[in-house]
Chain A
Amino acid sequence: DAKTTQPPSMDCAEGRAANLPCNHSTISGNEYVYWYRQIHSQGPQYIIHGLKNNETNEMASLIITEDRKSSTLILPHATLRDTAVYYCIALYGGSQGNLIFGKGTKLSVKP
């Protein structure tokens, strides 16, 4: 699975959009981009995933560049409860579950 690179930390004002970047320059054509987040001492929570097209759900939007070498997770109206570590993972489509979580981005949403 391709390695991903994320900034170690970011701040965001409550109510504003949080844009979390992820680089995955070695991603292959059949690797999906997944985003999870983890609030302290809890299990990781699935947010969104995509292959080539941009995706949106009730939690977030995922924007994948045309060359697929990077992506951005957008939380449109961040709240204090969105403070967490966010992980971007590139995962081969036939994988049986060996997710490799890097260090992620610690997002702090401030009032």
Chain B
Amino acid sequence: DVKVTQSSRYLVKRTGEKVFLECVQDMDHENMFWYRQDPGLGLRLIYFSYDVKMKEKGDIPEGYSVSREKKERFSLILESASTNQTSMYLCASTEGLLGANVLTFGAGSRLTVL
């Protein structure tokens, strides 16, 4: 089974801090994604990457950046955390385009910004 591992399950940070959320997948998948999930808003796509060093903006990229230096690792960076970035962050990966392929999620990282 594909494993998508997110480095931190729970984080508490202060406003203005730089935050790194790390995600690693072990199945050589091409595509990796970062979502955030908020009550009443569902999942929203922040960024995705379809290859090493490649990235594409999703629906809500403002306030975030990403890094993909190696195929298995996709990092989400909050340059200066704000309280409205308190959320559950979900990393996912898939081999190719969705449809015939399955998106596999990590366990999630719950970030609280004080």
Contacts and interface: CB of A to CB of B under 8 A. Distances in A.
Interface stretch (B14-22, B66-74, B79-87, B99-107): B99-107
Interface residues of A, number: 22
A21 to B, nearest CB: 19
Contact of B107 (A30, A42, A98): A42
Interface in B22-57: 31, 33, 35, 37, 42-43, 45, 48, 50, 56
B99 A93 contact: yes
A86 interface: no
Contacts of A102: 42
13 contacts: A41-B110, A43-B4, A43-B90, A43-B92, A44-B43, A44-B90, A46-B103, A46-B104, A91-B99, A97-B94, A98-B45, A99-B103, A101-B37
The 8 closest A-B pairs by CB, nearest first: A93-B99, A43-B105, A101-B42, A95-B98, A43-B108, A101-B43, A97-B33, A44-B105
